[in-house]
Structure 1
Amino acid sequence: MKDGDADDISQKLPGAEGALQVLQDRSFSGLEGRVCSETMKGIAEMGFTEMTEIQAKSIPPLLEGRDLVGSAKTGSGKTLAFLIPAVELIYKMHFMPRNGAGVVIISPTRELAMQTYGVLRELMKYHQHTYGLIMGGANRQAEAKNLGRGVNIIVATPGRLLDHLQGTPDFVYKNLQCLIIDEADRILDIGFEEELKQIINLLPKRRQTMLFSATTTAKTEALTKLALKKEPFYVGVDDTKEMATVEGLEQGYVVCPSEKRFLLLFTFLKKNRKKKVMVFFSSCMSVKFHHELLNYIDLPVMSIHGKQKQTKRTSTFFQFCNAETGILLCTDVAARGLDIPAVDWIVQYDPPDDPKEYIHRVGRTARGEGSQGHALLILRPEELGFLRYLKQARVPLNEFDFSWSKIADIQLQLEKLIGKNYFLNQSAKEAYKAYVRAYDSHSLKNIFDIETLDLPKVAKSFGFLAAPCVDLSKYDTLPSRHKTNNLSPTSIKGED
């Protein structure tokens, strides 16, 4: 691998300019060129000049077609946050009445549906596309007639929408491009769970989906899984400014498939070898293997884990503390409570067991008033539900963006090395098995489900061409890494 390949990652990884997909300029004029003039005129006439936090965070990824889960309450400006990208989508696709519904917005109550419709009407002032409101209590026959003529953007309550989907033959929705579920928690609270499931099953699967909710519950989590098929972009608004983690800490996550995890880690560490970095793993054997591997390929690292003698752990600890730069690989138990000064990066290579453990890990950086630090959480696409637990625990995370073309492609060299070097091969095998066992013992099994692991792809990240056999049956009686099984997001609170 060329050194330049590693260095280029700094252009996109967190800590670099432009890494966050959040508009730094919050003026609506900053959307010019990305949003059509008709919409811009509507925004201006509504009297809006500055975007709210949820708008600045949501509009850019939505304009790019991303699915999105937003944590925001009424009054945060979320209505425009989803309406502007929705209108832009219909505009760019040149929707005509004969194309039928392109966007469906589901609101929990008639009152909120009418409010949303009112904002939409103002935003659509200079557009030619059709839009309408359907809700319980209104004239169903008139609604059906209107739907038959073709309504491009529909604001609806769940019960009446399902009624029309099932019983209005002239309602064209096969061309649907976007589904927006507003105040999902309220929709579920008032008993529309079954209707929502039926609606989602009736609508076309290939679509953009946005879901907004003020709170996270087991039901909203299940709805998110059902409604959002693609990797969603998660945004949240901190309403109280009371965070569970310190203010000088820039925190984010990257979505990485199993087979690319080591390539990402290697590239990141090579780029940051002149900084002070701590990397967390889920098992002692994984720390041991990666310590041996990285040192073997000339990327010097230190390690602390529970299977080391206390004297070794202590000497390594002081060595890392006194060093100006260095990389320390560790497990949670070994590192908890350590007061290590001036750590630049905390990398969570393996996911923490719960938000509390996350907070403990990142507490190793940005310690003390005015201190700065960075935290990177690496998640598989199937693990993105963990972000909802973190948001509930008042942990503010943004998605860090980077280009896979900048990741060092050393997979073939890794596989050759593990295939030829007996000692590294044995160490890799033990680390792989320990990773799978640790995953199987995770307390948040609804998020970290071993059934979602593609074991051959996991094995690739340890340098194997074929996955070694792992017998989990003898570990069935092992407790989870913590006793907090079956946690719900609402039961977790951040630390002071």
Structure 2
Amino acid sequence: MASLDFVWNNNQSKVTGTFFAKKRRLQGKTAEKTTINFLNSGDKEKVSEKQNFNKIETSTNPSTTRNTEHVKKKWSNDKTQNRDNDAENTNANLAKDKNKKDKRAAATVLKSGQTPTDHVKKKWINDDRTENREDDTENIDRRLVKRKNKKDKLAAAALLKSGQKPAPIQKDKFTHSLFSEKYKMKSISNVPGVSVVEKVFSSNCAFKDLDIHKYIVSNLEKHGFTTLTNVQEKAIPVMLKGQNVLIRSQTGSGKTLAYAVPILDALQSITPRLERNHGVQAIIVVPTRELALQTHEIISKICTFQWIVVGHLCGGENRNTEKTRLRKGTHILIATPGRLLDHILHTSSFKINNVRCLVLDEADRLLDMGFKKDIVKIVEELDKSKKNDEYDPMAMLRGDTSKEVIDENEPDTSYCLRDPKNMKRQNVLLSATLTKGIAELAEFTMKDHIYIDALAEDLNINPNHMVIPKTVRQEYIITFVKHRLFTLASILVAKSKENCKILVFMATSQMVDFHYELFSKYLAILPFNRGKLNSGNVVLLDDGLEDSDDDEEVALDAQFFKLHGSMEQNKRKEQFSGFRKAKKGILICTDVAARGIDVPQADHVIQYTGPQTDEDYIHRVGRTGRVDQAGTALIFLTHEEQEYVNHLREHKVFLKERTSSEFSNHLCDLMKEADAERAAVALQNRFQNAVSANGDLYKLACFAYSSWSRFYNSYPAKLRKIFNFQKVNLGHYVTSFAIKDTPSAVARQVKGHVAKFEPKRLNRKLQIHENTEQPTKFKQPQKRKIKSISLTTSEYASGLTFKKKKKN
């Protein structure tokens, strides 16, 4: 048996313990005592070895005493080694103290005005360099560069004062990590070809040649609409006959007037005149709020008949205001699908039994945005209201047949919208592309319809070919990933000098928010003293940009706007209307602005991220070159994405290559640098410093990068070989968002911020319809317990309920 008692001393680094080991009973009950010192800061192995040594020493077993000598020897060697280490540390401390004394002595001698001895001075300098060489190398280099720049600056200023010209400074070799990548060979061959185009304007047909009211014609000519486009020439006569129509035409070909003119002409011909209590006569369904506002503006502009009321319904607007507007009465209603179905199901004052025309504008976009279920429900509600209105037993008893019921299977050449008694409904679908989904939707909404294609009859084209307006000049630019940000900035600077409007399409709303904040604050506004002095070729200090942030100037004469689906309706409406009214500006947006939006004088379209479908490419490009006006469409591609050019060639779309060097001189003028690489690095450093210094901007950059990675990883299988997330360099893409951190650090930042957000609570009152695809579990109603009155009341009771007194 053995026991161990500890005795704590005042010295915290030492613990003294007493070890008692009892010998065998044959040799008596005497015990030996051994003291062990446990050093807290020592090695655990040494303590355990010493403990084992004491155990072996106090044991009387012969087999254990053999190992005593070598253990003692090892312990003594360890003590010797510790003594040597202590001696070295002591010598180092003495040397440091001596150096300090020498420095103090030298400083004292210098104070008194004498010069220290050479050996003391030499030793002092050598010790300083040896001690702090690694830490102070960068600081010394910076000081030398600043000192040299300052001398050059003073010398140049002196020469200028005397009337002489300073000598040009020799350029040193300039390298930066932004330009350290090796050039990647391109696999694109310049194959000339002719794109598929369609005729926009009719050759010899005008609005005055149509059988419509003269006031409508004069108002159209007043706003510049004189000649009919090809789609208007083919569609308006067919619609005036009241037939169902499926129209396919390119973007910017005037499809809005193709259905607006027949509707207005039919409603103004009703006698007696329409009154507001007659309700809605025509409904126009559009995919986005901006397109609803634009369509409302166009129809109101060409409508000169004051008794015809035009209204619109949009998500994000005040529902009570919309209810009041519907209660007063509206004849032509433009609406988005969700808000329209909401009012149909929940607004009792909204009557749809008189609707005799339904228009689905941008039908392909309606399907892409997931509105198929809403459209089907709207059509079902319209059919249901028509059947309920047809069956009126009291009117049948009275013999009142005020409403004429016409069989839909019978051919009818009259326009149903002209006759309020006609219960037939005309359906019109319009789309820039014809897909399988559009054909299925047309079969559901219309039984017999006429298909109108704006292409010439003699053109036999493949359905896979894209039809792009011939007035659009299509281009592409291939850049390194790290160069994307300042390349986009240089193109915006170059295009803004031409006094035009630019649309920049990006993948996500977070990317739009980040680039809008970055460009509007750190590109449009720059420090006054940047780059080179106006007086000569004298380079400012590297940190001159930071020192002169107080003196800033407007360097880019163009206003920035943004537009995406996550914005509040008031801001969204303000930004869109402001961009339309501006003479020149830059709109950074998502695909919410890619369908049907007509911006006057939109000369340039830039696709900063590649589209996920071919239809998205068509609609993005279609924002420019509208109604036979010239425009330019440029798409950004990396070296890994350059195969997309060949993909477009398969669809008869041919692009012209542009290089970033064509816009570098504009960046040099902006940053006041003679060298393009210096200008690019200066702008990139400004962006990165702004993101690092501004916490909110850094958060926007992290979320923008995270949303881009999710978008890039969600390309369909058709384009995943070109836009392959597995092949991209994420570190370079982080740099393209002006972030200095690694991708994993950015992911941790985003994860930390997302964890703090609470999920939005859905308002069940605004739920339009239940999801029928996932059947809900049937819950049996709980049985209510019924109390027996006979068991709880007395025959002598008064029948009055007794109220319990409240406890004080």
Relative contact order higher in (CA < 8 Å, ≥ 6 apart): 1
The TM-score normalised by the length of structure 1 is: 0.46
Larger Rg: 2
The TM-score normalised by the length of structure 2 is: 0.29
